């Protein structure tokens, strides 16, 4: 699968498909199965969709990659922020393969990575880790492209990033795929990691930053926040408990029954829920 992933990172779908077909039948429900199914869906699309100019080659060392909506940009007034997990992908899905689907939604897409793996608590290195400066840079990009609102998607650690940064950006909708909502208990270790990285003291995360769940409960009515997790994953269901109870109307927890997968992209694909979830996130 390493070769398949490398080909997909370069946007080389046909060689990747040939390579994955050579592997023979794949066990259902695994990472390899997910990639194969996404590729299968891609090759089932019309030729004009496959020629979509929004496809791109991923730079695995880049933490800020903007893909403008391909014309006709039917939803060109919004930007989707995609927050990678600690594997620097989205649930193991290479970003060009993901873009092959997101690009057909008619939105501008911004792919974000946390190369320091500190749950997106800080801004990006080019902004001296100042999150407010990174947020301003995103807003400036949005203004340049006539964007009226933001939506955010993240998986695992990137789910926290989508929530944390989404609150700063006043995002309209946020979807977290099995991402934590409160990092308070992890903050001492993360604080030490921030110091080791050399993040300036004034830009290191505080308890207020780490406890996104409390900030979310106070935000209402926007953003509309949806946490998607496997019902049988005890660790991830804790993320839902951290949101408190009862939940206000702008917070929804969607539990995928009969699944214990942390990578919920897999059960979402198995049940056919993935596409409708993305459409709900983007909005009409």
- Which helix (H) or strand (E) segment holds residue 49: the answer is helix 47-50
Q: How far is CA 18 from CA 6, 23, 119, 175, in A?
A: 13, 9, 35, 33
Q: Give the model confidence (pLDDT) of 139-195 as tens digits.
A: 999 999 999 999 999 999 999 999 999 999 999 999 999 999 999 999 999 999 999
d(CA 117, CA 125): 12
pTM for the predicted model, two decimal places: 0.95
- Which helix (H) or strand (E) segment holds residue 276: the answer is helix 274-282
- E-state strands within 72-167: 78-83, 108-112, 149-155
Q: Give the model confidence (pLDDT) of 198-254 as tens digits.
A: 999 999 999 999 999 999 998 777 899 999 999 999 999 999 999 999 999 999 999
Given a contact cutoff of 8 angstroms between Cβ atoms, the answer to whether 121 and 210 are in contact is yes
Whether 80 has a pLDDT exceeding 80, the answer reads yes
């Amino acid at each position: 699968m390493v070769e398949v992933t490398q080909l997909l990172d370069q946007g080389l779908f046909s060689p990747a498909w040939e390579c994955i077909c050579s592997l023979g039948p794949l066990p259902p429900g695994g990472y390899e199965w997910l990639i194969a199914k996404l590729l299968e869906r891609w090759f089932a699309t019309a030729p004009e969709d496959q020629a979509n100019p929004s496809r791109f080659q991923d730079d695995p060392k880049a933490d800020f990659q903007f893909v403008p909506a391909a014309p006709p940009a039917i939803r060109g007034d919004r930007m989707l922020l995609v927050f990678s997990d600690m594997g620097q992908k989205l649930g193991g899905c290479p970003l060009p393969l993901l873009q092959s689907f997101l690009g057909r939604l008619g939105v501008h897409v911004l792919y974000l990575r946390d190369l320091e793996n500190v749950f997106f608590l800080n801004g990006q290195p080019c902004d001296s880790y100042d999150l407010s400066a990174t947020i301003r840079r995103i807003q400036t990009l949005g203004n340049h492209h006539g964007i009226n609102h933001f939506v955010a998607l993240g998986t695992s650690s990137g789910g926290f990033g989508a929530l944390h940064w989404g609150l700063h950006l006043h995002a309209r909708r946020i979807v977290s795929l099995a991402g934590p909502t409160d990092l308070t208990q992890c903050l001492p270790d993360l604080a030490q990691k921030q110091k080791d990285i050399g993040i300036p003291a004034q830009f290191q995360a505080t308890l207020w930053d780490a406890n996104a769940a409390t900030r979310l409960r106070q935000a209402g009515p926007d953003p509309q926040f949806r946490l998607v997790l496997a019902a049988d994953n005890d660790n991830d269901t804790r993320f839902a408990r951290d949101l408190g109870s009862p939940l206000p109307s702008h917070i929804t927890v969607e539990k995928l029954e009969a699944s214990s997968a942390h990578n919920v992209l897999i059960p979402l694909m198995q049940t056919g829920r993935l596409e409708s979830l993305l459409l709900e996130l983007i909005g009409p």
